[in-house]
Amino acid sequence: MRLSRSLAPVTVAVCLVLSLPYDALPHARVAAGQATAEREDPFGAECRTEVLGSRVVAYCHNPYADTDRVRLHIECERWWDLDTDGTPVDVGPALTVRLTGRCWKEVRSAWVSHQKR
């Protein structure tokens, strides 16, 4: 008997929530024109970066229709070794480019930046 008494308030609460009209329930609302305006087309080349000793090689492939401008950035481990920012390269649709760079000694980190053309 105690089990049914403890379930009674929960049962009533669930029934009340289920009986509410759809508009009264909290949910995300997006206007019809707003959904297409906020959605962007897919963009950005997919890049693989490899560090081989003091050299860095990055391969970037662009599977999308827009051109992506990619640039290789290298941060060297030693304080006296100059960090480098490579020249920007345009990657057209369905193209793959190879970016290279190096440090004199060890590489601390390397990454590729993207810019929409």
DSSP letter string, 44-90: --EEEEEEETTEEEEEEEE-SSS-EEEEEEEEESSTTSPPEEPPPEE
Adjacent-strand bridge partners of 72: 112
| 110 contacts 101 by C-beta, under 8 angstroms | yes
Q: Could you give the CA distance from residue 55 to residue 102 in angstroms, rounded to a whole number? A: 4
* Sheet order of strands, 46-52 included: 46-52, 55-62, 95-102
Q: Could you give the CA distance from residue 15 to residue 55 in angstroms, rounded to a whole number? A: 66
Q: What is the pLDDT of residue 98?
A: 98
Which domains are present in the chain?
2-38 (no CATH), 46-116 (2.60.40.10)
pLDDT interval class at 25 (50, 70, 90) = low
Tell me: pLDDT of 33 over 80: no
Q: What is the pLDDT of residue 12?
A: 75
Q: Could you give the CA distance from residue 10 to residue 5 in angstroms, rounded to a whole number? A: 10
Mean pLDDT of the chain: 83
Residues 50-104: tens digit of each pLDDT? 999 999 999 999 999 999 999 999 999 999 999 999 999 999 999 999 999 999 9
Name the pTM for this structure. Answer: 0.65
Q: What is the pLDDT of residue 42?
A: 85
